[in-house]
Chains A and B, each alone.
Chain A
Amino acid sequence: MPRALEADGIVVQFGGLLAVNDVSLALDEGSILGLIGPNGAGKSTLFNALTGYAKAKKGEVDLFGRRVTRLPPYARTRLGMGRTFQIERPFEGLTVLENVMIPAFLTTSRRVEAERRAHAALEQVGLADRALQPSSDLNLARRRRLELAKALALEPKVLFLDELMAGLNPPALRDMISFVRTLSERGIAILMVEHIMQAVTELCDEVIVLAFGEKIAHGSPADVTNDQRVIEAYLGGGDDD
């Protein structure tokens, strides 16, 4: 499978703190890579370095063989990166449909077409009946799905999901897991930061474990959850979940 995303020796520094220290990763089309680790391990910072929201002090990011390390976030979006935010960021003053039309306008300048594509994205995440609602009135689970619809309306090739599953109740979690699986079956490469181990073990082909900004393990979900260093750093004792 062709390589979608490759990051080499990423270093992000905040003042004296090394938030991410020399982390490399690679992601193929249609595969799902999980990024886990205790709070403050640098997962979101690495995420932001890959998508352009944080500045990498060292290292390179390649998207389909193209170097994007020095590009701002919007330019990376245009090259095929889509992302959701850990804390959902809907355009509060706009309706649900208008929210999704904005990314849809990336690939068309016609309003009718943008509206059609936005509707299609809302349909996929099951928010079509909420199209005309002000986005600020949505509950948490629906705001999450709106985040996802906004990313999908871009028709991304690489999708970054930042704790998409957090706070969902069991049925909503199951829906979301199977939906993410269909996305990867469509060939979208997915990188997910996730705390919910159920989602990680069911979805990810490979998992990278971060602790204190460093990569401490890399392998299949089963491998890393049995790794002694991971158990110490992350699971904090013998018990698995």
Chain B
Amino acid sequence: MTADTARPERRTGLVRTFLASPWSRLAIIAALGAAWFVAFPSYMSLGIALLLLAGWSTAWDLLGGWTGQTSLGHAAFVGLGAYTIGTTANELDLAPWWAALLAMALAAGLSYVWGKLTFRLRGSYFVLASIAIAEVLRLVAINERSLTGGAVGLFIFDLAEPFGVDLFNRGNEFWISLGYLLLVMSVTILVTRGRLGYQMRAVREDEASAQAGGINPEVVKLRAFVLSGALTALGGCIYGIFLSALQPQPMFELHLSVRIALVAIIGGRGTLLGPLVGATLLTLAAELFRNVFAEANLLIYGLLIVIVVLFVPRGLMGELERRSVRRRYAKSARS
């Protein structure tokens, strides 16, 4: 202790620099994930559910938070991913990694077409139109029996084993889900620090002013939507394998779309960590209160949302980030 007190300032400086880099935050998340794997081997399914929700929500946030276009239809991409894995495995014997690529391509195409049709609509009209995406896909899933098994759904019996890894093993699925979350967060870091990220935020803040900066808002929104949809579908593929019994009813429902959006809103839209923080909070709260309050857990869920909307409208991480921006400016003004 005494030897260290000589230069405490330099040490906190190093720690600060480390924590300030978004990549080291990813390293910490990876370490926490590994710790969960070791510490709670009997909570693998809960961990997978948490990681996937965080990943979807982070992908949602590229469109909903960074670009400011709230979607309540992202369950469509989750379902699209899951069904693509299931259908291609059963019908074509396609390996899951090819199926995942196909799912992402389909999701990208769907986002592009949907964006082209609905980005003319502003504000709440876009939100309403987005609800229809999932609804349309749900109807397709129910009615195209030959592909989807209709209302009964379909089962994934058998999957190729990449490098001898059993994809139905819960532990393996946990690692894949962790990798997925880290991938989505990495893409978010790369995108938001580059030109596209700045353009996305400009469109969110003020479209007229963005145009004065030479930005075509429609193109920026389309890019964000395509990226967001494709990444959500990738997570949907993992979800499909995790469930291995797919049904249109819970898969494409508004409830899932709302959860994906809410998690980001509570955690902080347009922040790297917000969706993960929100997903952790809500997943763990739901798990705890399910046992304590049984049926009342939805009430708790609702109360949390009201509290956040009233007292931290930017979301938890949004508020923290704002404070740190102010602090950084105060520091620069002093020196």
Contacts and interface: CB of A to CB of B under 8 A. Distances in A.
Interface of A: 51-53, 72-75, 77-78, 82-83, 85, 89-95, 98, 101-103, 105-106, 109, 111, 114, 129, 131-134, 137, 150-151, 154
A102 B213 contact: yes
Nearest to B327: A132
Contact of B216 (A52, A74, A114): A74
B213 A77 contact: yes
A85 B211 CA distance: 12
B210 A102 contact: yes
Contact of B198 (A53, A98, A154): A98
Given A91-B205, A103-B214, 8 more contacts: A74-B216, A77-B213, A89-B209, A92-B206, A132-B328, A132-B332, A151-B212, A154-B213
Contacts of A95: 325, 329
Contact of B214 (A77, A132, A133): A77
Interface string B170-207: 00000000000000000000000111001101101110
Given A91-B206, A93-B205, A106 B325 contact: no
A120 B333 CA distance: 18
A66 B174 CA distance: 59
Given A89-B206, A89-B208, A103 B333 contact: no
10 contacts: A52-B211, A74-B217, A83-B212, A102-B198, A103-B214, A105-B195, A105-B213, A106-B214, A114-B198, A134-B329
Nearest to B270: A93
Contacts of A133: 329, 333
Interface in B211-226: 211-217
B204 to A, nearest CB: 7
A76 B206 CA distance: 18
Contacts of B198: 98, 101-102, 105, 114
B193 A77 contact: no
A114 B215 CA distance: 15
Q: Name which of B204, B215, B270 has the most chain A CB atoms within 10 A of its CB.
A: B215
B204 A93 contact: yes
B326 interface: yes
Contacts of B199: 102, 105
B290 interface: no
Interface in B293-335: 322, 325-326, 328-329, 332-333
B325 A74 contact: no
Contact of B201 (A73, A77, A94, A103): A94
Majority secondary structure, A binding face: mixed
B332 to A, nearest CB: 5
B71 to A, nearest CB: 19
B70 to A, nearest CB: 15
Given A102-B202, A132-B328, A109 B211 contact: no
B212 A150 contact: yes
A53 B328 contact: no
Nearest to B197: A111
Q: Name which of A91, A92, A114 has the most chain B CB atoms within 10 A of its CB.
A: A91
Nearest to B215: A74
Nearest to A82: B212
B202 to A, nearest CB: 5
Given A89-B209, A106-B213, A111 B193 contact: yes
Nearest to B212: A83
A105 B201 CA distance: 13
B92 to A, nearest CB: 40
B207 to A, nearest CB: 10
B169 to A, nearest CB: 42
A92 B214 CA distance: 18
A125 B227 CA distance: 37
B329 A132 contact: yes
Contacts of B215: 74, 102, 106
A73 B212 contact: yes
Contacts of B204: 93
A129 to B, nearest CB: 7
Nearest to A108: B195
